[in-house]
Each structure stands twice: as structure tokens, then as C-alpha cells.
Chains A and B, each alone.
Chain A
């Protein structure tokens, strides 16, 4: 593959992709030059990953053409993409954890090479590549035992080994510590200076401003515009992403009443991989208070929420709801005790997509005497409740019998919020409640949270959107590696201060609460 000047590395023309019920990419054009980093910026659900999966051959576009180095390319599988020198680093790694680094790299082979491969040769090549790009890794280490940052390095090496000259990185920093991120950026710069190209997918403005040469912004599957870094500013990019200036909605804050509704004491919870996800964390939320937890995702937020709701084993510490201990109680007991929970993944967890709106309204309420007696469901009562909820919360649906998978993302989330608003008579836990929502729906959800607090509920808001945390919370705790580094009153909180804490800058030794 030659890289004449003026010839573009990748050109996408009129790429369109439909999924049932959604238009993921709508007539997207995109250019990538050799020797540059192009950032693909957009909110969750803007269509960034879909577009890149098309370029990588994982999805077939419904329309549009791809040109590589100026020539029309037919990419039908990742193998094709690799043959064109395109490699992709997925958000969720595609490694075999029980295999060694070499074995993972060898898996899938090498483009344009036939015959047997010798482990020693491949290992040497990995070491060479690693030295050249500052991606040192022991070729014989077992992947599952490596830290996440190193696993990502293995993914990159895998792509380089196959001769990738265009690297697509899907939110590569989401799982990294600040130091690891710096290292990754150093690699990206080196890689591009050697005449290669990188597409960097992100929704984090600061990061994009730091690493990208040009920035293409996607919104609702369409290209909003492309800016060079010199033209761009964080404010301008934010405006392009969300289609409006970020304004901070204000909320009349309650005076803290003395009554503690939710107390978490010295909580210890393990993550899926047996790691310490929540590390001796304590917090308390009073009546009418919104307690915001800020932090980079993957620092124990979801595990904390699940532990409180009884969905994850608590290894140590206590959870007390309105004076009653609910540590390791079963989920049903906790629901009945009045804890509403808006999970981060509404499609997988918060809703049963193949069931109707009506049936989803009673998902966490089917046992309620208003809805069923002696195990028999009262159809009319369900209907009345669902009708009321749909009207009150302005959920747009063709009918109550419509399957929830046919609703738009915003209306799906409104349904979850509406249900949990009613379920959570005392506590409402919201994890990433506005992720992937359009502005209107997001504002609506935020309004509902303030309204819930005005009604005296204790609210735990967990979000990676700092603006959201600042706008809604009375107090803010910053979570870092499962600990709350500091709890700050909203009045004393600044973006800078929280930003530093989110990066764990205060140092772990001082961690602890108050």
C-alpha cells in the first residue's frame, strides 16, 4: 500500500445503516488523511461505533461506498478490513483471557501470509513492535492476568502485527487510568508521525482536543460538521454534539432535613472479575437530598448501585434504609421497602423489550395489591395505572400493547423513570439516567429527579456527566477505584476540583470519608 501525498487513507461516502426501529447512520461522509488523528465525537448512541463497525467489516451498510487509498474497497468482514490495513480496538476487548499474549496475537493469523507460524518468531516480532512503539508487554504472559491497560496494549499489538496502518480506537480511554491514557496518547502520536492514521472515537471533549488533528462530530447518525483542532473549542464542540449550548438547569435546593433515609457504611463489594469494586465506601443521604456521585465510568459505580439494590453480594459493611438494615436482603424485599432503581442499561436490564408497555409498567410492581391479589393480576388495574403513567410522564407510545422495543430511547427511559419514580417511595437510585437521550428527554428525566427530591425522596444520582451532577446534586462524592475521595457541598464544588478528584489526583492515601 503506497501513501502518496494527497491520497486519502479512508473515504466514506453516503454511508447509511438501518437497524429495526433506528437509523444508526444517515448518509455519512468522512475523510481520513494519512498522518493524522481524526476524532469521531458524539454522544452515546450518535452512531460512532456503528460507522466504524461498517468500516471494519462487521456490519454491511445499507447504502454508501468506502474508498481506501483512493480506490473503491469492498469490506465484508474484518479479514477484508485487515487486508486493507485497517485494525480496530474495540471498547470491549476481543481477547481470549486464558491464552497468552502470543497466542492471542497469532489467533486470526496474519494477512497475506501462508504456512505455519512459529511461536518464538511471533513472540520476537511482538517484542520488536512493542519496542518500536513503546508498547512493551511480556509475550508469554496470560492475558487474563494483565491489567486492563496492558490488555489494550495487546489489542493494539494484535492489530499492528497484522499490518494495520489505519487504527480505529473505540473509546480507548474509558477503561484507562490517567497515566495509562498519557501512555496511549504518546503511542498514538508516534504512530501517526510514522505516516499512519488513527480514528479516535470518544465523547469526551477534553481528550479529543488533546489528541485529534481534526474532529468530525456525529449527532443522531448524521455528520454535524468537521473542524480542525485550531478551529475547535470545547464549547463549540459541545454545542455541535448536543445541538445547543450547555446550560445548567437550576433546581431549588431543599434545606437538609435531619432524617437520614439511606446510609451506606463501610461497604465492600466485589466486581465481576473478583476485583475489589467498592472499597470501604460510606455515604448517607437525607430526605429530599440528591447525592451525586461523579467519576470516570468503571470505578465501582454500578457495583455500588447493584449492592444497595440487593443485586450484588455485599462482602462487608452495611446498608440501612430508613433505620432498617437491608444489607444483602433479596431484591424483592428491597423493592418492597421503597427503593427505586434506574439502571444504566435500560434495554438490557430496565425493560423487557419483547413485552408491552403495560407489562413493563408492572415489572417491579406486579406484586403490589393495587395490581394483583392472591396471585391473580387485575387487568383493568394494570391498564388504568399504565394509562395514568403514560399520560403523566408524557411517554409517547402508539398504544399500551406496543412492545417497548418499538419505543424510542427517550420514551423507553421515561417509562423506566416513571415506574421507578412510583416504586421508589423512599429512595431513588439513578445510574446514568440521561445517557444516550436527546436533549428534550434528558431534561425531562432531570426534572423528574428534582421533583422526586422535592417530594422528600432520597436520591442517589450516579453519572459520568459532570454537568448533570453539578446541576442536580446537593452534595457530590467523587468515586475513584471504589472509594469516595471526597464529599463536597455543591456550593463549594467547581468543575476543576471535581475533575482533579475524578482523575484520582488527591491520592489514595487520603481517601476516606469526611
Chain B
């Protein structure tokens, strides 16, 4: 207990020191962590209302999530598509564009992957996977490029267009799954299982973790590279901060809208590839219906930074794995995972508000001491 006390005072001291140094990057890391803790506390209160001891629940959640190699691997497997939809939102967000339609782009990507895979029985695995990869990225990218185009051409609100396009994607998917793509048995609204040569091989044997995770990590690195190392990324960020200045800098903002949406949609489309070829091996009606919304939350928690998104997606993956198991083994309703995620998001958004307040307050204080005026 004494040791714990010492540790907390030490940490508090470090935190205060860093705060005094006004270290921006420190806040970037610290505030999401604080938000997660606050979110867990908030959902803990909800568990009390359910008559559950939150400490036991969290302990079990943690224990289940990290129980064995299978579950640990599952965390990474579950986080794979979340990384991609998180990147989809985060990438567009860097250009101040709202891609709310990652869900639809994900479905379109999944459709492309499944169609591609079903036609490639017997092809060499590498070529088959490459084809599915390209098909899903292209499909998601083109689907989203249309959103960017309506914004560029008609000044349409991309928030609404991207959101509504998801419903169209769902309708198309349902039509295809119940029609031309319906399984040979003709029983359920789902496709046939895709041939084994189009499956993403497992990364760790006897677990569900597949090579798609590494793909997602690579995509995160690519997103980082585009945004901060290339002129395209530079232009995207300038457009995101100030469109008037972007025009002044000779940037064709309309073209940027289309490019950003294509890339963002391709990311979400790839989530369809990793889910179909890595996880489900078939397309089932209405599968993963929350993946787009969770991506938005993950991108916000990760500060729209690819590395932050990677970490946030892993956290959500762990919550899913642990959460699924506690709801199966106790009386806690499955919605508790959603509640935890929701509280975390709420805390993140609050922290942005507070950071702004603190910044204003500090800058006023700094001025005060510089000018020597009393307030």
C-alpha cells in the first residue's frame, strides 16, 4: 500500500512537472489516457446500477482478454478492421472532411472481395489475395470518390452524402446476397464460403489472427507517410486547416476533396478484404454493423493520427474480446461494451473542450505576467 502511494505521488509529480513545461505532445498522449480512465469510471457507475461490482467486471474483462494466446491473438484480429475504418475517418478528418460512410465503403469493399474470391478458385494464393486486395480497395475508393465528387462539383454536404451512401451500400449488398450471390444451398442470406486459396493465412497458428493485421498496420504507416512526408499530404492538411490559404497556395481544393475521399474509402474497403478473406470467409447479411461508427470513435480517441488510431483500435479490440466473454459467462448484458466505448468517447470529446479552455486560460495568464496587469 505504501509503495502504491509512493508510486501515485511520483506519477502525479511527473504529470505536474510536464504540465508546467506546457508540453503539447505530452497532452496529446496524456489526455486520451485520462479519457479512457474517465470512461471506464463512468461505465463503472452504470454497472453499479446493474447491481454488478465494476471492479470484478473489469478484472474479469481483463483476465478473459489476456487469458491465453488465442484470446490475445483475437484482440489483434478484432482490431484489424477497426484500424482501417478508423484510418478512413481520421484521414479525411485531416482535410476537415467528414467521412461518416466508412460502413458503406466497408460493405462495398467486402462485396468486391467476396465476388473476386468466389471467381478465383484454384488460382495461386498470392495472386488471388492480391486480386481481392485490389478489388476491395478500388471498390471502396470509387464508392467514396463519388462523395468527394459531389462535394467538389455541387458543394454537397459530405457528411450527409457519406452517411446516406451507407444505406445505399447496405441495400445493394442485401440485394446481391439474397439474389445472385446467395449461397448454393439457398437457405440463408449469405454467400458461399470462399475457396481456401483466397484465405488470408494465419499469423499465429491455431488462432484467428491473420495477415490482415499486418496489412492494417502497414496501411497506418502509409497513411502517416502520405500525410506528413509527401506534398499530397501537405496539401491535404493545408486544406484541412484553411481553405482560403489553400487556394492562395495554388492548391486545387476540389481535386483534394476527391483524392482524400478515394484514399479514405480505399482504407475502409480494405477492412472488407481483411474481414472476408481473413475472418468470415463468406459475406453474411448485416455483418459487423458497427464497424464504421466504431472507426469514428477510434479516430477521435487516436487524435486522427495513424499511430493513435492503431492504439485506440487495439483498446477497442480488447474491450470486444474481454466484453464478449464476460457477457457469455455472467449476467452482464452485451450492451455494456457499447456503453464503455460510449463513455470513453464522451470523455475524449470533453477533454478537447477542456484543453481549449486550459489553453486560453494559460495564454491569458502568460500575458498577464508579461504585461504586469492585474485582472
Q: Which residues of A contact B (CB under 8 A)?
A: 16, 18, 20-23, 26-27, 62-63, 309, 311, 330-336, 341, 343, 348-355, 359, 362-364, 366-367, 372, 375-377, 379
Q: Chain B residues with Cβ under 8 A from A353's Cβ?
A: 241-242
Cβ contacts under 8 Å, B231 to chain A: 366-367, 372, 375-377
**Using an 8 Å CB-CB cutoff, how does the interface string of B341-375 with A read, 1 for contact, 0 for none?**
00000000000000000011001100110010111
Q: How far is the CA of A349 from the CA of B244 in the complex (A)?
A: 5
> Given A348-B245, A354-B241, A375-B230, are A366 and B235 neighbors across the interface (CB < 8 Å)?
yes
Find B238's partner among A62, A336, A363 (CB 8 Å cutoff): A363
Inter-chain contact A332/B250, CB cutoff 8 Å:
yes
Give the bracket for the number of chain B residues in contact with chain A.
20 to 34
**CB-based nearest B residue for A345:** B244
Contacts of A367 in B (CB 8 A): 231
Please measure, in the bound complex, the distance between the C-alpha atom of A407 and the C-alpha atom of B249, giving whole angstroms. Answer: 20
- Measured between beta carbons, the chain A residues less than 8 angstroms from B241 are 352-355
Do the beta carbons of A350 and B375 come within 8 Å of each other?
no
Chain A nearest CB from B334 CB (Å) reads 41
Query: Please, which residues of chain A bring their CB within 8 A of the CB of B364?
Result: 18, 20, 62
Q: B249 touches which one: A16, A27, A364, A376 (CB < 8 A)?
A: A364
The 5 closest A-B CB pairs, nearest first, are A332-B250, A20-B363, A331-B250, A18-B364, A354-B241
CB of B230 within 8 A of CB of A377, answer yes
Bound: A359/B227 CA distance, A: 13
Residues in chain A near residue B252, CB distance under 8 A:
330, 332
Task: Pick the contact of A26: B245, B248, B250, B371 (CB < 8 A).
Answer: B371
B232 to chain A, nearest CB (A): 6
Q: Is the CB of B230 within 8 A of A20?
A: no
* With A16-B373, A348-B245 as contacts: A359 and B234 at CB distance below 8 Å: yes
Query: Which residues on B sit within 8 Å (CB–CB) of A309?
Result: 248
Closest to A343 in B: B248
Proximity string of chain B (234-265) to chain A, C-beta cutoff 8 Å, 1 when within and 0 when not: 11011001101101111110000000000000
Further pairs besides A20-B360, A351-B242, A355-B237: 13, Cβ < 8 Å = A23-B371, A26-B371, A62-B375, A63-B373, A63-B375, A311-B247, A333-B250, A335-B249, A335-B250, A350-B245, A353-B241, A364-B250, A366-B231
List, in ascending order, chain B residues with CB within 8 A of A343's CB.
248
The reply to whether B245 and A21 contact each other, CB–CB distance below 8 Å, is no
Question: What are 8 pairs between A and B in contact, CB < 8 Å?
Answer: A20-B359, A20-B364, A23-B367, A333-B250, A336-B250, A353-B241, A353-B242, A375-B230
The complex places the Cα of A62 from the Cα of B367 at a distance, in Å, of 12
CA A108 – CA B9 in complex, angstroms? 55
Please name the residue on chain A nearest to B242 by beta carbon: A352
A360 to chain B, nearest CB (A): 9
Kindly provide the distance from the CB of A443 to the nearest chain B CB, expressed in whole angstroms.
24
Q: Does B153 contact A (CB under 8 A)?
A: no
Q: Closest CB-CB distance, B186 to chain A, in whole Å?
A: 50
Residues of B within 8 A of A63 (CB): 373-375
Q: Mark B290-312, 1 if CB is under 8 A from A, else 0.
A: 00000000000000000000000
Interface presence of B229 (CB below 8 A): yes
Residues in B with CB closer than 8 Å to A26 are: 371, 373
Instruction: From known contacts A366-B231, A377-B230, infer whether A348 and B242 are also in contact, taking CB-CB under 8 Å.
Output: yes
Chain B residue nearest in CB terms to A355: B241
Which of chain B's residues has its CB closest to A372's CB? Answer: B231
Among A343, A348, A352, the most chain B Cβ lie within 10 Å of the Cβ of A352
Task: Give the one of A348, A362, A372, A377 with max B CB within 10 A.
Answer: A377
B-chain residues with CB within 8 Å of residue A362 when the two chains form the complex: 234
Residue in A334, A341, A366 whose CB lies within 8 Å of B234: A366
**Distance in Å from the Cβ of B259 to the closest Cβ of chain A?**
12
Whole-angstrom CA separation of A372 from B375 in the bound complex: 49
Bound complex: CA A231 to CA B189 (Å): 91
Find chain B residues with CB under 8 A from A334 CB: 250
> Closest A-chain residue to B364, C-beta based?
A18
Complexed CA–CA distance, A372 and B233 (Å)? 12
**A363 and B229 contacting across the interface, CB-CB below 8 Å:** no
Would you give the shortest CB distance from A458 to chain B, in whole angstroms?
A: 20
Q: Which residues of A contact B237 (CB under 8 A)?
A: 355, 359
Is A331 a contact of B247 with CB atoms below 8 Å? yes
B residues in contact with A330, CB < 8 Å: 250, 252
Q: How far is the CB of A364 from chain B (nearest CB, A)?
A: 5
In whole Å, how far is A5's beta carbon from the nearest beta carbon of chain B? 35
User: Considering the chains assembled together, what is the distance between the CA atoms of A379 and B242 in angstroms?
Assistant: 22
Q: Which of B232, B367, B371, B375 contacts A375 (CB 8 A)?
A: B232
CB within 8 Å of A: which B304-335 residues = none
B234 pairs with A21, CB closer than 8 A: no
Closest to A16 in B: B373
Residues of chain B within 8 A of A377, CB atoms compared: 229-231, 234
Q: Is B245's CB under 8 angstroms from A349's CB?
A: yes
Q: How far apart are B229's CB and chain A's nearest CB, in angstroms? A: 6
Point out the residues of chain A lying under 8 angstroms from B367, CB to CB. Answer: 18, 21-23
Q: How far does the Cβ of A297 sit from chain B's closest Cβ, in whole Å?
A: 19
Across-interface contacts of A372 in B (CB, < 8 A) = 230-231
Q: How far is B245's CA from A367's CA once the two chains are assembled, in angstroms?
A: 16
Q: Which residue of B lies closest to A360 (CB)?
A: B245
List chain A residues, Cβ under 8 A from B374. 63
Return chain B residues, CB-CB under 8 Å to A335: 249-250
Q: Nearest Cβ distance between residue B101 and chain A, in whole angstroms?
A: 26
B371 x A341 contact (CB < 8 A): no
In the docked arrangement, what's the CA distance between A376 and B231, Å? 6
Residue contact A355 to B373, C-beta cutoff 8 Å: no
> Known contacts being A16-B373, A20-B359, A330-B252, is A376 close to B247, with CB within 8 Å?
no
**In angstroms, how far is the closest chain A Cβ from the Cβ of B352?**
14
Q: Which residues of A contact B368 (CB under 8 A)?
A: 18
Which chain A residue lies CB-closest to B363?
A20
